[in-house]
Amino acid sequence: MLYLGRDMKGKRTLTIIGPTASGKTALAVKVAKELDAEIIGLDSRQIYKGMAIGTAQPSKLEMNGVKHHLISCLEPSVAISAGEYSRKVYQKIEEVEQKGKLPILCGGAGLYYRALVKGLFEHSSSNIKIRKDIEADYDHSPKSLLEKLQMIDPEYSKIVHINNKQRLVRALEIHQITGVSPSDHFKNQEKNRGPFLNTYSIYLKWDRVELQKRIISRTKKMIMNGWVDETKKLVKKQDAEKKVYPALNSIGYQQIDLFLNGQKTLGQLEEAIIINTRQYAKRQAQWFKKEQIDLVVEMKKIKLSNLSEIISCIIKSLQ
């Protein structure tokens, strides 16, 4: 079932968003083949190298000959902010348009999506000393930092996971520098969007139970395909470089590290990843509820192997 809000007249980009394991890549590739488009990643973790399995990066087979951008192109030792990601997306959109092709953004990073379509809040500055102090507090007690954010910004704290050190630290850094909570910044952010992101957004909506089944199935497959070995290589590389990899804060990698150290059984590992992924998907859905969506697709009623109805609707909207 489709819920169509507006047509795509005058819009320059197509965006396919939704929670993790919702089938965004499969749809984006099929649409790209029909429209001679290229896909630009909108995922805060798929951008990293050496994390193909754990971040569910599309394989060459899944890409099906469609050019993908911002996938596996950044070292895991490098942290990236929403603003920096936005600038990379803008650059890729220009590159794709210069070829005479349609850019399709695809991913589930709600914060990055908001930064693209609404712009970043004013005074989005950083303070290295403040950040390092907060990071030290996080290393001592992540729970106390999350509780602090819950008091400062109850709304934003609902979508920040305790294991997401980068986002939790950044939220408290913003508050300490400006005296204003991230949610208040977002509410007051400038509405002057750049010329790039006048976007037509498609949201893939799943029934909660059905999405959980997909998460369980995908998690089992990822572990079977070598996620543990992938993590082992990343941890070994991190230790050899004597660096901290922000990318390893991603769901699953910390749990696998505990498994490698004998602190979890394989069954406990699988269960922990499924629970964390399910919670993350719930936060993504809550985030996107607040965004302006042009087309909502009820995925339970449509098979991913037969997306002709959605594709026809998208093409019709483009005309």
**Nearest-angstrom CA–CA distance, 38 and 104:** 6
Q: What is the pLDDT of residue 32?
A: 92
Could you write out the DSSP letters of every residue in 133-200?
HHHHHHHH-HHHHHHHHHHH-HHHHTT--TT-HHHHHHHHHHHHHHSS-HHHHHHHS-----SS--EE
Which residue matches tokens 């190298």? 49
Assign 231 a pLDDT band (cuts: 50, 70, 90). very high
Which residue matches tokens 């400038």? 190
**Nearest-angstrom CA–CA distance, 72 and 198:** 26
pLDDT digits (tens, 9 = 90+) for 98-109: 999 999 999 999
| Mean pLDDT, rounded, for 225-244 | 94
Domain ranges of the chain: 2-120+189-318, 128-188
Please say if the pLDDT value at position 126 is more than 70.
no
Minimum mean pLDDT among 5-9, 164-168, 173-177: which range? Answer: 5-9
Please say if the pLDDT value at position 240 is more than 90.
yes
Percent share of the chain, pLDDT over 70: 87
Q: Which of 196, 27, 22 is nearest to 110 (CA)?
A: 22
Q: What is the pLDDT of residue 6?
A: 45
CATH of 2-120+189-318, one of 3.40.50.300, 3.40.50.10800, 3.50.50.60, 3.20.20.70: 3.40.50.300
Minimum mean pLDDT among 203-217, 229-243, 300-314: which range? Answer: 300-314
The architecture in CATH of the region 128-188 reads Orthogonal Bundle (1.10)
Please say if the pLDDT value at position 70 is more than 60.
yes
Q: What is the pLDDT of residue 167?
A: 80
Please say if the pLDDT value at position 195 is more than 70.
no
